[in-house]
Structure 1
Amino acid sequence: MTVENWKAAWAQLIAPGSPYEVVTPVDGGPRAFRNAAPDLLSALDAGRAHGEREFLVWEEQRLTFAEFFARVDRLAAQLRTRFGVRKGDRVAIAMRNQPAWLVAFVAAVASGAIVVPLNSWGQREELLHGLEDSGAALLLCDAPRLALLEQDLEALDLRVVAVDAPQQNARVSDYERLLAEPVELLPPPAFEPDDPLLILYTSGTTSKPKGVLSTHRAVCQALAAFEFQGAFAAMSSPTRIQAIMASGFAPTTLMAVPLFHVSGLHAQFLVALRGGRRLVLMYKWDAERALDLIERERCTQFNGAPAMMQQLLASPRFAGEATASLFGLGLGGAAANPGLLAQLTGVKPNAIGGAGYGMTESNGVAAAIGGDQFVYKPATVGWPLPIVEVRIGDTPDAPQAPDREGQIWLRSPTLMSRYWGQPAATAEVLQDGWLATGDVGCVDEEGFLRITDRLKDLINRAGEKVAAAEVEACASGLDGVIEAAAFAVPDERMGEAVALVARVREGSGVDELALHAHIAAHLAAFKVPEHILLSAAELPRNASGKLLKSALREDFLRRFLN
C-alpha cells in the first residue's frame, strides 16, 4: 500500500458513522472520539461480555473474564463497606505484576476512588513519597512492599490490604480472606467524564516524581486511541493480518512491562480487558523465562522496551520454534537504535512490528506506527493519532515548517488535568491547552513524526548544540555495540564536552579506538565524544526502560573527571 492508501484508510476510520468517528467540539476544544466511553467503569464493563474465556495466566493461576470480574465486584464492595472508600478518596496500589494488581485497580475504580499506582520497583522513600503526596487512605500491596512500609503505617494513618499478608491486625487485612468473605454487592457510584480518576507518577529521572492527575474522559479517549491504532494497523497491513488469522492462535499478550506505567496499564491491561485479549503476566523480567512463556502459552504479542527486545533477540531461541506464534512486536518506553530495528525485521519479516510515542502526561497517547508503515519509516514514531494535534517550535503559537526541528507540543483530550499539588510545575508544561513535552523532533512532508532528542539531552559544546540521540544512534550502528548513552560533562575549554558510555558484546573486538573512529567517520568533528567508556554490563534503566543518564553521568564524573 502507498501513503495515499494509508491516508484513505485513516479517513475512512474516523469518518461519520464509524466506530472511531472523530468530532471537533463547538467550543474549540481538542478533537475527540465521539464513541469513547464517558467513564472508565463503563469502558471496562465491556469485558464482562467475554465470560468464560480465559483472561489471565500467572504462574499456576488462571482466571476467566467472569472469574476476574467476580473478584472485582467482591473487592469493590469490601472497599466501600469495610474501608469506607468514597468517591474522590485516593487508593494506592504497590505490588509487582500479578492478578491481584489488576483486580485491585478495577475494584478501586468501581468504588469511586482516584487510583494511585506506585512504582513497585521503588524503595521505601519513593513509596512513602507517593503515599504522602497523594494523601492515600488505603494501600493494596504485596508482602515485599508491606515489609518496606510496615513501620510507617501508624504515622501515615494508612490501612492496608496485602496479598499473602504475613499477619493481620487493625491496619492490615489479607487480600484472599477479604475476597472469601460474604459481602453484599453494591451498584457503582455515578461518574462524570471530568471526574478525577488516576494519579500516575512520573519516572523521576530528573527530579522527584510528580503525580499526574487524569480524568475519566482522558483515559477513555486514550483507550479509544489505542484501539483505533490497532484497527488502522490491520487496515493498512492486510497481508500481515491475513498471516495472523491463518495461524489460528488466540490473541495473547505476554505482559512483562510494569502495570504502574501507561504502557502496561493502558495499552496492554485495559485494552485487553475491553477487547477479550488473553494476558500472560510476568512477575519479573527474564528473557529466557519470557521465551518459555511465549512457547508454552503460544503468545502472539510482545510489547517492551528496546532493552528487553534486545535481550530476546540475543537468544538463539528467538528465531526458532519458541516464537512461532509471535506475530506482534511493539517497542516503547525509549528510542530504539537502527540496528535493533533491522534485526527485528530480519528475524520476523512478516510480523506486525510497531512503536509508539506518548508520556504519562498524555496518558501514553501522541503518535504510533505499525505494520507496513513501520517497515516504511522505522526511524519515526508514525502519524499523530487522530485526536492529537502536534506543533513544533519554541511555543505552540509559532509552529515550525515541515522537517524543521523544535520542541514538540501536544493538544489532545487525553492530556492530564494537572500535576497533583504542584500548580507551578503544571503551569510550566500546560500552556493554553498545549503540553510542552520536553522532546525535540520534527514532522516530515508525509506527516510522520520523528523524535530527535530531549531538550535536556542537548549538549552545548562551545555554542554548537550536539544531540545526544544522534551520537547514540551512530555508536549503536557499529556491530558489537548493544546500547549507548551520550551526555554532557564539564570542560574548561569548551564549556561542555561529549561523553559516551557504550555496552559492547563480549568478544566483539570493539574497543575505544574503534568506536571513536566509527563515530568520527559518520559525524561532524564537534559531535565526536571526547570521552568514551566501554561496559560489558547492562546500562542502568528505570522501570519504563528509560536510561538513567543522571546515574551514568555521576558515575562517569566520579571515576574519570574528579
Structure 2
Amino acid sequence: MSQLSELAAQVRAQLTAPGAPFEVIEASAGGRPIRMYRNAFGTLPQLIASARAHGDKPFITWQGETWSFDRFFAEADAVAARLSDWGVKPGERVAIAMRNRPEWAVVFVAAAMIGAVPAPLNSFGLGDELHDALACVEPSVLACDSERLARIGGNTRVVGCRILCVGDTDLAAGVDDFRVLIAQPAGPKPLPQVGPDDPGLILFTSGATSRAKGVLSSQRAVCQALFNIDFIGAISAMTSPDAVAALMKSGLPPATLTAVPLFHVSGLHAQMLTALRNGRRLVFLNRWDPAQAIDVIRSERITQFNGAPSMVMQLLAQPGFDDPKQTGTLAGLGLGGAGMPQRLIDEVMRRRPDSLSGIGFGLTETNGSGAAASGRLFAYKPRSSGMVSPVIDVRVVDTAGQALPPGEQGEIWLRGATLMEGYWRNPEATAAAIDAEEGWFRTGDVGYLDDEGFLFIVNRIKDVINRCGEKIAAAEVEFCLLQLPEVLEAAVFAVPDEDTGEAVTAVVSVREGSRLDGQALQAHVGAHLAGYKVPAVVHVVTEALPRNPAGKLLKAQLRSAFITESKG
C-alpha cells in the first residue's frame, strides 16, 4: 500500500470515528442493517431549513441576475404556501419540467419544504415522453416553462393536476403564472410531519428499457447521499492540503458553473442541493456552449466545473483554457466515473496537475453515491472511479452471483444507505434490479476493486448509450423506429465518439423495395423523441439482422462490423 493510500485510510478512519464530523453508525432501514452518517439530516425539509442561515449571500446567478439565499427562500416560501393552498399534501408529487433556471430550484425546494415529493422530468423530452412521465408519477402539480407547456399541448392528461408556468408567455385559462404566485409573500411554514423512511424524491432514469423508470428514494437516502458529498470534500481536502491552501490563498469564494441538467443527480445532488446546504454560489448556463463557458469562468470567477466527459473535453479544447487570465480561478474539474476516454484523463492530468479535479461513480438508483476521488487521490489512480463510500457496500460478482476477489472483473453490485426504495409503481423492474434477500442492487456495470479499495469501471452490461452524459435506452429508440410499417428490425447501439463520448448508431432492416433511407429514419425519431436520442448514423439494409439461437440480436457483431467499416 502506498503512503498516499495509507494516509487516505487514516483520514477516513479519523473522519468516521465516534464523535467525528462524519461518524458512521450501524442502523436499520427496511428491515436490513446499514451503515449511515450519524450527523446527516434525516429529511430534506430539515436540510433545507438549515440553509436559511446563509442570508444575503449569493446563491444562483442566471442571465446576469443573482438570487441571494434570502430572495430564493422568499420565492420558495410563496410557492410553498400556494402549493399548500391547492391541497398538496406530504407524499404527493410535484413534477418539474423546465430548463435550468432559478425557478426550477425554487419549485423543487418549495415542494420538499411541505413534504411533497419533487419529481423532476427530463426537460429534453418531447410531448409523448413528457406525458409518459406525467402518467407515471401522477403529480398534483406540474411546474414547467412555456416551452415544455407547448410540448404537452397545455394539458398534463392527469386528472386534477394543476399547471404552474414560468416565463413571459401569455398563459391560457387554468394555467397559473409563477410571477403572480411569488408576488404574494408568505412566511416559512412549519416543518411537515415526514420521517426518514418517507418518500423524498423521484428521478427518472432510462436504464435499459423502452420507457424511462421513476426512481423513488426515501428522505434518508437523499440526505445520506448529500452528506456523503461533504465527506468526499473533507477527505479530498485532508489528502490534498497544497491544493486547498492555494484556493484559500486566492480568497475566492466557491462558485460552480452548472451546465448539466438539474434533473440528473450530477446536477441536483452534487451541485444544486450541495450548494444550497453549504452556502455556495451556482452560475447557470442557459445551454451548453464551451466558448461561453470560458467567458463565464472568467467573468464570474468560477472555481469548479463538473460536467459530462464530452463537456470537459470541449472546454479543454477552447483556445483560452490555458490562459490564466481566462480560467485562472478554476480550481477543479469534476468528471463522470465510467467509460472515461483515456485522452481526457491524460489532458486533465497534464493541464491541471495540482488541482482539486476529481472523478466519481454513482447511479440515479444510489443517489449518485458509490465511489469518488479528487485532488491527489485522483492523480494517484486517475483511471479508477475512486475509493468506495463509507456508507456503501460493493460486491463484484461472476455470472452466478458469487463474489470475486480484488482484481477480478465482474458485475458491480451496490448496497447501502443511499439506495433507492425501488422503481416507482414498477415492482417487476424493482425485483429484477434489487436482490430481495440481501438488498444488493445490480448496476449492470462491469469492473473490479483493487487491493487498496479503488473501484475501476471497465464495461457496461446494460444496453444504454451515454451521449454527452445523457443516458439513452437503446430499446426506446428501437421501439420508435419499429413504429414505421416498412421497418422489420432495428438494432441501436453505441460507438465511440470523440465529441460526445458515445454516438447513437442504428442498423435498420427494411422491407424489400422500401424507399426509406437514413435521413428519413432520423427525421422519424426526431419527430417523436428528444433530439439527443436521434441516431447520428443509420445503416439501412434489406437482409435480416444477425441473431443468436435464442433470437436475441447480436449487437456486438453489428457494432464490431460498423466500427471496422468506419475505419476502413
State the TM-score, normalizing by the size of structure 1. 0.82
CA distance in 2, matches of 1:172, 1:306: 39
The Cα offsets for residues 343-392 of structure 1, whole Å up to 9 and x where unpaired, read as 11211222111111000100000000111111111110111100011001
How does 1:291-330 map onto structure 2 within 5 Å? 291-320=294-323, 321-330=325-334
Letter in 2 for 1:441: G
Hey, what does 1:19 align to over in structure 2?
A: 21
> How far does residue 188 in structure 1 lie from its aligned partner after superposition?
3.2
**Contact 2:395 2:413 survives alignment (8 Å):** yes
How does 1:192-203 map onto structure 2 within 5 Å? 192-203=195-206
1:433 pairs with 2:439: yes
**Contact 1:305 1:334 survives alignment (8 Å):** no
Question: CA 1:559/1:289 → structure 2, altered by over 3 Å: closer, same or farther?
Answer: farther
Match of 2:373 among 355, 365, 369: 369
CA distance in 2, matches of 1:561, 1:318: 49
**Contact 2:392 2:415 survives alignment (8 Å):** yes
**Contact 1:332 1:357 survives alignment (8 Å):** yes
**Contact 1:134 1:420 survives alignment (8 Å):** yes
> How far does residue 502 in structure 1 lie from its aligned partner after superposition?
5.0
CA distance in 1, matches of 2:158, 2:461: 40
CA distance in 2, matches of 1:375, 1:427: 39
CA distance in 1, matches of 2:495, 2:138: 40
Hey, what does 2:37 align to over in structure 1?
A: 33
Match of 1:253 among 253, 256, 264: 256
The Cα offsets for residues 238-281 of structure 1, whole Å up to 9 and x where unpaired, read as 11111111111110000100000111001111011010111101
Question: CA 1:395/1:559 → structure 2, altered by over 3 Å: closer, same or farther?
Answer: closer
**Contact 2:338 2:458 survives alignment (8 Å):** no
Aligned residues: 489
Hey, what does 2:291 align to over in structure 1?
A: 288
Hey, what does 1:158 align to over in structure 2?
A: 161
Hey, what does 1:474 align to over in structure 2?
A: none
Letter in 2 for 1:56: I
Match of 2:131 among 87, 110, 128: 128
CA distance in 1, matches of 2:386, 2:157: 49
State the TM-score, normalizing by the size of structure 2. 0.81
1:67 pairs with 2:50: no
Hey, what does 1:388 align to over in structure 2?
A: 392
Question: CA 1:245/1:561 → structure 2, altered by over 3 Å: closer, same or farther?
Answer: farther
CA distance in 2, matches of 1:225, 1:47: 17
**Contact 2:243 2:354 survives alignment (8 Å):** yes
Identity %: 45
Match of 1:79 among 83, 89, 110: 83
Hey, what does 1:378 align to over in structure 2?
A: 382
- Which deviates further from its counterpart, 362-371 or 164-173? 164-173
CA distance in 2, matches of 1:66, 1:89: 27
CA distance in 2, matches of 1:280, 1:92: 23
How does 1:452-467 map onto structure 2 within 5 Å? 452-456=458-462
1:398 pairs with 2:402: yes
The Cα offsets for residues 287-340 of structure 1, whole Å up to 9 and x where unpaired, read as 111111110000000000000001001111111121010001100275321111
Question: CA 1:190/1:500 → structure 2, altered by over 3 Å: closer, same or farther?
Answer: closer
1:267 pairs with 2:270: yes
How does 1:149-548 map onto structure 2 within 5 Å? 149-153=152-156, 156-164=159-167, 166-183=169-186, 186-204=189-207, 206-320=209-323, 321-332=325-336, 334-394=338-398, 398-431=402-435, 432-456=438-462, 501-503=495-497
CA distance in 2, matches of 1:561, 1:246: 65
3-state SS of paired residue (1:116): strand
CA distance in 2, matches of 1:439, 1:170: 48
3-state SS of paired residue (1:150): coil
Question: CA 1:367/1:396 → structure 2, altered by over 3 Å: closer, same or farther?
Answer: farther
Match of 1:55 among 59, 64, 83: 59
3-state SS of paired residue (2:34): coil
- Which deviates further from its counterpart, 182-191 or 359-368? 182-191
> How far does residue 168 in structure 1 lie from its aligned partner after superposition?
3.7
> How far does residue 557 in structure 1 lie from its aligned partner after superposition?
5.8
3-state SS of paired residue (2:95): strand
**Contact 2:225 2:368 survives alignment (8 Å):** yes
3-state SS of paired residue (1:450): strand
**Contact 2:90 2:194 survives alignment (8 Å):** no
> How far does residue 41 in structure 1 lie from its aligned partner after superposition?
1.2
CA distance in 1, matches of 2:271, 2:494: 34
Letter in 1 for 2:394: V
Letter in 1 for 2:245: Q
CA distance in 2, matches of 1:109, 1:390: 30
CA distance in 1, matches of 2:233, 2:19: 18
Question: CA 1:155/1:427 → structure 2, altered by over 3 Å: closer, same or farther?
Answer: closer
CA distance in 1, matches of 2:271, 2:281: 10
Match of 1:141 among 127, 131, 144: 144
**Contact 1:142 1:165 survives alignment (8 Å):** no
3-state SS of paired residue (1:108): helix
**Contact 1:212 1:420 survives alignment (8 Å):** yes
> How far does residue 555 in structure 1 lie from its aligned partner after superposition?
2.0
**Contact 1:304 1:333 survives alignment (8 Å):** no
Specify every segment of 5 or more residues in structure 1 that has no aligned partner in the other structure, as ranges. Answer: 459-467, 470-484, 488-496, 506-539, 541-546
Question: CA 1:180/1:345 → structure 2, altered by over 3 Å: closer, same or farther?
Answer: same
Letter in 2 for 1:123: L
Kindly report the root-mean-square deviation, in angstroms, between the aligned alpha carbons of the 2 structures: 2.9
> How far does residue 167 in structure 1 lie from its aligned partner after superposition?
3.0
**Contact 1:327 1:352 survives alignment (8 Å):** yes
Letter in 2 for 1:265: L
CA distance in 2, matches of 1:87, 1:435: 28
3-state SS of paired residue (2:220): helix
The Cα offsets for residues 127-156 of structure 1, whole Å up to 9 and x where unpaired, read as 101100111121001110011113434665
Question: CA 1:345/1:560 → structure 2, altered by over 3 Å: closer, same or farther?
Answer: farther
Hey, what does 1:555 align to over in structure 2?
A: 538
Letter in 1 for 2:538: D
**Contact 1:91 1:139 survives alignment (8 Å):** yes
CA distance in 2, matches of 1:395, 1:561: 30
